[in-house]
Chain A
Amino acid sequence: MNKEDIELLKEVTETLTDQSEVYNIRKNGESIKRKSSDYINIVPKEDKSGLDIYVKENTLFGIVHIPVIITESGLTDVVYNDFHIGKNANVIIFAGCGIHNEEEKTSVHDGIHRFYLDENSKVKYVEKHLGCGKGSGKRVLNPTTEIYMKKASSMTMDSTQIKGVDDTIRITKGVLEESTTLEISEKILTTENQTAKTIFDVELNGENSSVHVTSRSVAEGSSYQEFASNITGNNKCYAHIECDAIIKEEGKVKAIPEIYAKNVDANLIHEAAIGKIAGDQLKKLMTLGLNEKEAEEVIIKGFLK
């Protein structure tokens, strides 16, 4: 890894250090560095590109880093990572991808991540996507996340894409069994003529399962975003989907809510609000001395924080 690689890696996962216990670093379609521990084992897949990550049951405070960087223009990198989280285990997983494109060809990363949470396990998944470089070639990221949750497991997923990604289709699927909790928070910023599509597809199958999705996005320039959620309640369950978008200039945002209650005790809520920055917010900050542009930046920065 050269200096630029290290910087890009740092942007993707700030918390990865030389002391990190478990990690796999992938560059331009290949694993270049890997480390497992007694509790968490990373095994490369044999039939396709990717990893199986086994977290032993009862593992406490496990931390895994699996960043990806792409610096080769024109590369399409597809990776399948499966996370097997043992009973009662508790882990934090940092993932993400940075594409640095200095040339004219399109670089693509498709990360298909599947999470199998065994009973009573707990996962925090942090994912950050970004693009950079001066090349005219596009930076495309298509993450697919599938989450299978066994009884009493819980997962939070924080996903951020706030810089330089030209096109993205983000698919998140969840299948929730009894007494499980899934919390997803997503932050997206698109500029120029970028596009971002987000699809959440969650099936609440178990009694007392719940999902909470908070999506905050900003569409600037002439960018386009689409937010679709498709939540099915098959049992006594709770879902709360909040989609908040700020549009600027020629930005466009479409929200497609679909909630389907198949059980009389299913309680499903979808809220979507799209609009430009409220005039009152700008005015308030201007009375404190910020000019309009500064006020706008403060509002957007806070919104995506």
Chain B
Amino acid sequence: MLELKNISFKRDNKTILNNINLTLEDNKFYCITGPNGSGKSTLAKIIMGLVTPDSGSIIYNNQDITNLSVNERAKLGFGFAFQTPVTFKGLTVYDLLKIATGREINKKEACNILSKVGLCAKEYVDRELNNSLSGGELKRIEIASVIAKHPNLSLFDEPEAGIDLWSFKYLMEIFKEMNGTKLGTTIVISHQERILSIADAIILLESGMIKEIGNKDTMMNTILTNDCPKGGSNE
């Protein structure tokens, strides 16, 4: 169980997150949605330890992890797929997947992981993680690096952004599988109706506050009638 208690974050005199209190249960599939700039990415980064909140605490399975570093949280089983994938000169897709799995996987295993995100694996394993890969390819590799880690708690920041419709179906398969196997908690930041519709709970964030938490039946109407939350790809 993950508990966020009184999490606040302010920058440049602007309240980005305002006293967030949230409890996320094990093996559930959560979606965070809300307008651009509402604080979704910041919240996810705070959970991963990539951003330190100004106040508040984070409790994971009764352990206070507020002061744990990113890699300590990774060791606890947290995974994080960045909204904008990071590129590396010299590191290959294979290198990244070895780091993600934490062992010397062979190329066949690496290919299996890649095929889950719909990448014709052989063509990609030895590619360098640089801008010779398209945005959509990098995004899918980013997602692959997270599922390769088999996290207990995984965070995906707008996984659908930049992904074509054809690849989107692989993404849905991944999330349905994660949802079905109940092997951990999944938190997906998304604007995509199809992803939202498989969530156990949808968390609507607005201006740094939780406006509503509910399930698809009660929430979809609120979201769809609200003119703000539309797909976007800002940071």
What number of residue pairs across chains A and B have CB atoms under 8 A from each other? 62
Q: Across the two chains, which residue of chain A brings its CB closest to B78?
A: A287
Q: Which of the four size classes fits the interface of chain A? A: 20 to 34
Chain B window 44-87, contacts with chain A (Cβ cutoff 8 Å), 1 for yes, 0 for no: 00001010000000000000000001110011001110100010
Tell me whether B228 is interfacial, beta carbon within 8 Å: no
Residues of A within 8 A of B (CB): 216, 244, 278, 280-281, 283-292, 295, 298-299, 301-305
Q: Tell whether, in the assembled complex, residue A285 and residue B99 are in contact, meaning their CB atoms are under 8 Å apart.
A: yes
Give Cα A301–Cα B149 distance, bound, in whole angstroms.
22
Q: Across the two chains, which residue of chain A brings its CB closest to B87?
A: A281
Give Cα A304–Cα B82 distance, bound, in whole angstroms.
25
**Residues in A neighbouring B100, C-beta threshold 8 A:** 288
Interface-facing stretch out of B89-97, B189-197, B213-221: B89-97
Residues of B within 8 A of A (CB): 48, 50, 69-71, 74-75, 78-80, 82, 86, 88-92, 95-96, 99-100, 102, 145, 149
Q: Across the two chains, which residue of chain B brings its CB closest to A242?
A: B89
* 28 A-B pairs in the complex with CB atoms less than 8 angstroms apart: A216-B89, A278-B86, A280-B82, A280-B86, A285-B99, A286-B70, A286-B74, A287-B48, A287-B78, A287-B79, A288-B99, A288-B100, A288-B102, A289-B74, A289-B99, A289-B102, A289-B149, A290-B71, A291-B71, A298-B95, A299-B90, A299-B91, A302-B90, A302-B91, A302-B92, A302-B95, A303-B89, A304-B90
**Residues in B neighbouring A292, C-beta threshold 8 A:** 71
Q: A283-B70, A289-B102, A290-B99 are in contact. Are A305 and B90 (CB under 8 A)?
A: yes
> What is the distance, in angstroms, from B232's C-beta to the closest C-beta of chain A?
21
**Residues in A neighbouring B91, C-beta threshold 8 A:** 298-299, 302
Known contacts A280-B82, A287-B78, then 6 further A-B pairs from the complex at CB < 8 Å, ordered by chain A residue: A280-B86, A287-B50, A287-B74, A288-B149, A302-B92, A304-B90
**Residues in B neighbouring A283, C-beta threshold 8 A:** 50, 70, 86
> What is the distance, in angstroms, from B145's C-beta to the closest C-beta of chain A?
7
Give Cα A295–Cα B48 distance, bound, in whole angstroms.
17
Q: Tell whether, in the assembled complex, residue B71 and residue A302 are in contact, meaning their CB atoms are under 8 Å apart.
A: no
**Residues in A neighbouring B71, C-beta threshold 8 A:** 286-287, 289-292, 295
**Residues in A neighbouring B89, C-beta threshold 8 A:** 216, 244, 302-303
Q: Across the two chains, which residue of chain A brings its CB closest to B91?
A: A302
> What is the distance, in angstroms, from B203's C-beta to the closest C-beta of chain A?
21
> What is the distance, in angstroms, from A124's C-beta to the closest C-beta of chain B?
20
**Residues in B neighbouring A302, C-beta threshold 8 A:** 88-92, 95
